[in-house]
Structure 1
Amino acid sequence: MDEEALMNVHDEDVTSQAGPSTIPAVTANDRPEGMSKNAMKRAAKQARMEELKPLKRAAEKARRRERQSALSKGYAEGTLTEEDKAIYEKRKQLERDRKASKRKFDNGTLNDGESWSGGVVLDLGFDDLMNEQEISSMTSQIAYCYSSNRTVTKPIKSIIHTSFSPSASPRLWTKMSDRNWHRWSRSVWWHQGVKELSAALSSSSPSDITFSSNPMEPLDAGHSIGDRAGEGEEKKEGINLENYLTGPKLPEGLKSGTHKLVYLSADAEEELTTLSEDEVYVIGGIVDRNRYKNLCQNKAELLGIRTARLPIGQFIDNLPTRKVLTVNQVFDILLQYIQQNDWRKAFETVIPQRKYHESKKAKHAHNAQLQQQQQQTGSSGIQADVPCQASDNEDPVDVDTGLDSAEIIVQNERT
């Protein structure tokens, strides 16, 4: 059986087994002034989803352990079919490759040819446009981007986070304080915004640039805590995190007059056909549930930055849901294109297969059919090409292994 379908089937089982909601029922008399009945129903539904989330996550972890245990046992006993044996060996090889890539990434032993010399920018200058829940989700999405980059064969050489400081993005700065971001390799953090980055890349001489004031003394360009000898044992409580903001210096490998900014926007007229290593792609760091129309497009136009959109419609024909992607999904699509040089494969690797169902009715009918097949065959089946990425209910790859990080909670916005 298809693993995405299995997840949907079992999620419905979790919902039915969870029992009645512990959330008090809200009557018409309790409805806040100005809130419609439909809005109240949506709020109750969201609260119920939040209540069920830990149960779903625990159930999915148990299913993964069970599947992996059965595969390992069958492989050791020689009872797997040739097809399942090939799947098991492929998964093990993918895991070995992922761990090897992560070691080289963390140790700084990647050669120039093993990194993609372009860059990606996460524009974090939208702190005041998000509510607290969206800020929390944004912190997780930033961490997912870092996690993805350190576990691929060919990582992006530099990820620049702009408008990140206690004054530029106060709430995001606070939320990120327990993420150990100052230890993330190949990650650059700027107090300055995209405007200043654009000026730095377009100027022929650093002396020609006037930046907004930044009281923090920056590190050498392109360096993070991982590059500082003897600082690996620092206690976070004793660190002034503002010292790890490196702007306005460009990270190593990005050159003024050579690299050009491209702001990614779903509203852009131009559609990307490929990625170029002399370009730096900007992703708007906002979780807005599509509230703000043309936000990134208008910002880029105001700053005179070229815009382009991902070729979603061209390569994903059967995607009935909205084509607004999360920050980490956009980042992962870029990252997968760099690995595979194929847009269709990149999209299909990142976007969950359940998004391709034509409707909820069709999805439930599809799940019912697969569940019936499972009962008849007594087998759960195994998907042949499972990407090395977490699903909705999975915890992400260990973002801060060994760095006393807090667990990253998966947000609904991830997919």
Structure 2
Amino acid sequence: MSTTTEGATAQAPTPEPTPALAHIPPAPTPVSDEPTASSDPPPAQSAEEYISKKARKRALREQKWEAGKKQRLEQRQEKRKELKAVKKEKIQKGLFVPKPRWRPDQQPSTMGVVIDLDFEDKMIQKEIKSTAQQVIQCYSTNKSALHPVSLTLTSYKGAIKDNLTHMSPDHTRWQTSKCPMKMLEDGVESLVDGGRLVYLSADAGETVEELDEGKVYVIGGLVDKNRHKGLCQTKATQLGIPTARLPLGDYLDMQTRKVLTINHVFEIMLKYLELKDWQQAFLAVLPQRKGVKAKGADGEGESVGDGDGDGDDIVEADDAVEGEEVDNAGGDGDAAEEADDADEGQAE
């Protein structure tokens, strides 16, 4: 017979079933004070705010260049002093004979030449700088010529004057040199009353057969890459100034366009005063790269040797550019349009 006691083990309770996963609520997303990255693209910069990488590099180069200007100037000045000391020592020892600043046989001409600078508004900065550089070359050529002429600048002001001052800070002393160059703020019209002016223009109907030493010849100081054709001819006509062109086509055949730099026109005139021969004057000045050939008696071109130089001996200056071409004196008015080898500009 079996009996039960109070200490008998009770039956274990049945465990409750686990609820289904579908009934578990999702865990809350933690909230953070830090901003979250947005997938939206950044707002586009305006045209005024955007600076390209190339522009930034260029700006940095310009800043670096400006910052080093003073140092470069001091280095150039020191180098000049050293070269001057070496040259002086060689002269004292008889190892070097300096070239005279002035020709001992110099005989000044009574002829005048005016460079009309009243075209600043027709040129960009590079062309203005080139014009100023060619003016400097004209003065240098004149003071070493056999027959220097009376050289005058008109409309000497504005950016042209600023560039001359930058390239040659002491250029105002040229007004009192042995071969002075006058610098007038007034335009070429202020000189009309004398009745001696002749404006050189490739578009003129008349040809200069020979230079009259009683005249004043005007060269248009314009470098414009041929954007303003006939400008000098029109201006001279309005002012009542006679025009003429140098007889370039009568004596030469050229493979390039018949336009000349300001300083080439001036040098040709000086060389003619010395040689009294147009053909020889042209050949002595014009560079070989123009493919210059002398015309024979039958009009056929004859190959000739090089001139005295290549025409590129423009006075060097900081940031200066090569001399560009001016359509104000040579040719027969029908200059060819093909480009020259040296990306030269054209002007009236």
Q: Report the TM-score when normalising by structure 2.
A: 0.57
Deviation at 1:357, TM superposition (A): 7.0
- Please state whether the residue corresponding to 1:276 is helix, strand or coil: coil
Number of residues of Structure 1 aligned to a counterpart in Structure 2: 215
- Aligned-partner Cα distance in 2 for 1:172–1:395: 17
Correspondence for 1:411 among 316, 322, 326: 322
Give the letter aligned to residue 234 of structure 2: N
- Please state whether the residue corresponding to 2:140 is helix, strand or coil: helix
What residue in structure 2 maps to residue 313 of structure 1? 249
Work out which of the two has the higher radius of gyration on C-alpha atoms and give 1 or 2. Answer: 2
- Aligned-partner Cα distance in 2 for 1:279–1:304: 15
**Is 2:322 aligned against 1:323?**
no
Correspondence for 2:225 among 289, 295, 306: 289
What residue in structure 2 maps to residue 119 of structure 1? 112
Pairs within 5 Å for 1:380-395: 387=308, 389=309, 391-392=311-312, 394=313
Structure 2, unaligned stretches of length 5 or more?
1-96, 294-303, 326-343
Correspondence for 1:340 among 257, 268, 275: 275
Question: Can you list the C-alpha shifts for 1:136-173, whole angstroms capped at 9, x where unaligned?
Answer: 100110011011111122211x10100112xxxx1112
CA contact (8 A) 2:286 2:307 kept: no
Deviation at 1:195, TM superposition (A): 0.7
Change (3 A) 1:395 1:127: closer
- Aligned-partner Cα distance in 2 for 1:303–1:265: 14
- Which one has the bigger helix percentage? 1
**Is 2:94 aligned against 1:183?**
no
- Aligned-partner Cα distance in 2 for 1:295–1:386: 30
CA contact (8 A) 1:395 1:409 kept: no
CA contact (8 A) 1:137 1:411 kept: yes
Runs (4+) of structure 1 moved beyond 4 Å? 383-386
Question: Can you list the C-alpha shifts for 1:33-71, whole angstroms capped at 9, x where unaligned?
Answer: xxxxxxxxxxxxxxxxxxxxxxxxxxxxxxxxxxxxxxx
CA contact (8 A) 1:140 1:408 kept: no
- Aligned-partner Cα distance in 1 for 2:123–2:277: 34
Deviation at 1:354, TM superposition (A): 2.2
Question: Can you list the C-alpha shifts for 1:106-130, whole angstroms capped at 9, x where unaligned?
Answer: xxx96xxx11111000000001110
Change (3 A) 1:264 1:144: same
- Aligned-partner Cα distance in 2 for 1:395–1:320: 23
Change (3 A) 1:269 1:289: same
What residue in structure 1 maps to residue 154 of structure 2? 162
Change (3 A) 1:357 1:277: closer
Change (3 A) 1:292 1:341: same
Change (3 A) 1:335 1:132: same
Deviation at 1:174, TM superposition (A): 1.2
Q: Report the TM-score when normalising by structure 1.
A: 0.48
Change (3 A) 1:135 1:308: same
Change (3 A) 1:385 1:309: closer
Deviation at 1:325, TM superposition (A): 1.1
CA contact (8 A) 1:118 1:277 kept: yes
- Aligned-partner Cα distance in 1 for 2:188–2:292: 38
- Aligned-partner Cα distance in 2 for 1:286–1:123: 8
Question: Once the two structures are aligned, what percentage of the paired residues are identical?
Answer: 42
Correspondence for 2:191 among 188, 197, 207: 197
